[in-house]
Chain A
Amino acid sequence: MSEALPPAASTSWVVCPQCAAQLPCHDPARSRYFGCFECRSFFRTIPAATTTAHRLYGFKKALLPGPSLPLGATGVLGGYHCRVTGYQVRGEKQDRVAEWREYQLRPAAPLPSPEPADLPLQLAEYQGHWLLIRRAPRFPGIRSGKPYREKSWRDPTTGRHYQLWHRYQPLVRDALGEFDWNILEDEKLTIQEFTAPPYLLSSEHKPDERSTWYLAEYLEPAEVAAAFGVAPRELPDRVGVGAAQPAPVPGWPQLQRLALVTLVLLSLAQAVLLGLHQPEQLPQEDFSVAEAGPAATTQMLTSKPFTLSRATALHVTLTAPSLTNHWVEVTASLVNEQTGRGYEFTRSLEFYQGVEDGYAWTEGDRSADALLAAVPAGRYHFNLYPSLDSGAGPTELRLDTEINSPLWSNYFVVLGALALVPLLGGWRRRGFEQDRWANSDFSPF
């Protein structure tokens, strides 16, 4: 919006001392300072009194885009029926680029006396991110006249952990409407903001005075639009991540807690199962593989039989300890002697070594292993069908079998699957938080 919106119905009028424009005053009992929407003068006067108005300042020009909420508009926010009575554009002394808009809200309906402690309300908008600001019910206890100097604060009542987000001195760049304090005096303030999304705790400190604390809560633009009956497209588009914008994974602490308990239970189950099913090593068996040739192509080696009392996993290791510069391929078949069911795997063992340019080298492995899972109870033996490289000569082949082998892969598969959701959530949150803190001088990243 490029110009101020027309004022809503008002209860009183004041006259600008600079251009004589008549300005509406919705809260004549409190409002003493006014920003003229015709000539941008800022002046002090008492509505409905014969006192002369004093011009205090003249803003150079209207700053774009102007107020997104019309002055005088009413809506329900923060549990109050309130009216937009003042609008300011603010910036920072240390940063000429940063600029945000603040809307003063006054009750549009009579309130019980004394006024609720969380009033007055303000709305602030920065890069399309909205905050509803009210007086803070709790804040850090500090000695009078001293600013709070810590970089974080934990609210003992809510457990919220506020982290220092920003320190700055404000500048007022434009003002329209009515105010019950001299907003130009705010340029003497030092403001600190502490974030704990969706909340932002801020302190305003004037030298030798007690700090005033405010608590802001993040509002979705749609909430603001709905509260004041404005079309959402008329509000500024959101840019980046707001200081108090909630992270995209709601309930993150609960998910962390749940994932931790699940992973502890899983590890506990694995420990118990390891204790229940102790691995057992069968006696090692050695075979002699005949030299390659027509006779060797049909050779079969058979292990001693063994019995499995329950369904189990077998870890089988084949080793050719004397194999050098040759290979042997072994097809191993675990045979159930009662049913004829076979469990088969093939492994190649090859081992080469030599010396080249004075350096010794080796390649390959003299042993290979395999895991046969869910082998039912029964009496079994192994049939081994080796094929030996020509010229290798008779070669020793060793068979090692472990029953009740622990299935660590199951543990890691389930662990990975259950950790996936928290990891993805954490990754999204981390990216979001990094974007948020990119706008702060106190980033923990």
Chain B
Amino acid sequence: MLDLLRLYWAAMRSWPVYTGLAVLGLGLFIWASFASYRLLGDDNESAETELAGPGRAGGHGGAAHFYHK
């Protein structure tokens, strides 16, 4: 086991940039998974500050529709 760790430590020292990339990639993956964040973007078409509802003519301003019951 110790030999194996030594082997990987030597490999990490041989490829420091790739090791950094791997740590960054794994960290990013775990963070994105916990935050349910999709790295390639999702299908949400609304802007960050936009209120609900499509902004087309004669449309339905989202806030007006909260009380749907």
Q: Which residues of A contact B (CB under 8 A)?
A: 251, 254-255, 257-259, 261-262, 265-266, 269-270, 273, 277, 297-298, 300, 302, 305, 311-313, 331, 333-337, 340-346, 370-375, 381, 383, 385, 404, 407, 409-411, 413-414, 417-418, 421
Contact = CB atoms under 8 A, between A and B. Distances in A.
Given A254-B14, A265-B26, A407 B32 contact: yes
26 contacts: A251-B11, A251-B15, A255-B11, A255-B18, A258-B8, A262-B22, A265-B26, A266-B26, A269-B33, A270-B29, A277-B33, A311-B35, A313-B42, A342-B52, A342-B53, A344-B50, A344-B53, A346-B54, A373-B37, A374-B38, A385-B54, A410-B29, A410-B33, A410-B37, A410-B39, A418-B25
Contacts of A311: 35-36
A417 B25 contact: yes
Interface string B1-26: 00000011011101100110110011
A282 to B, nearest CB: 16
B66 A255 contact: no
Nearest to B33: A273
Main secondary structure of the interface of A (DSSP, over half): mixed
Most chain A beta carbons < 10 A, residue from B22, B52, B68 = B52
A344 B36 contact: no
A313 B60 CA distance: 25
A381 B67 CA distance: 10
A255 B21 CA distance: 12
Contacts of B19: 258
Given A407-B38, A409-B39, A254 B11 contact: yes
B55 to A, nearest CB: 9
Contacts of A266: 25-26, 29
Given A340-B52, A342-B46, A374-B35, 10 more contacts: A254-B14, A254-B15, A262-B22, A311-B35, A335-B66, A383-B52, A407-B37, A410-B33, A414-B26, A414-B28
A338 B37 CA distance: 21
Nearest to B28: A414
Contacts of B65: 300, 302, 335, 383
Contacts of A414: 25-26, 28-29, 39
Contacts of B8: 257-258, 261
A383 B18 CA distance: 46
A333 B46 CA distance: 9
Contacts of B21: 417-418, 421
Given A262-B26, A335-B66, A418-B25, A413 B60 contact: no
A346 B56 CA distance: 12
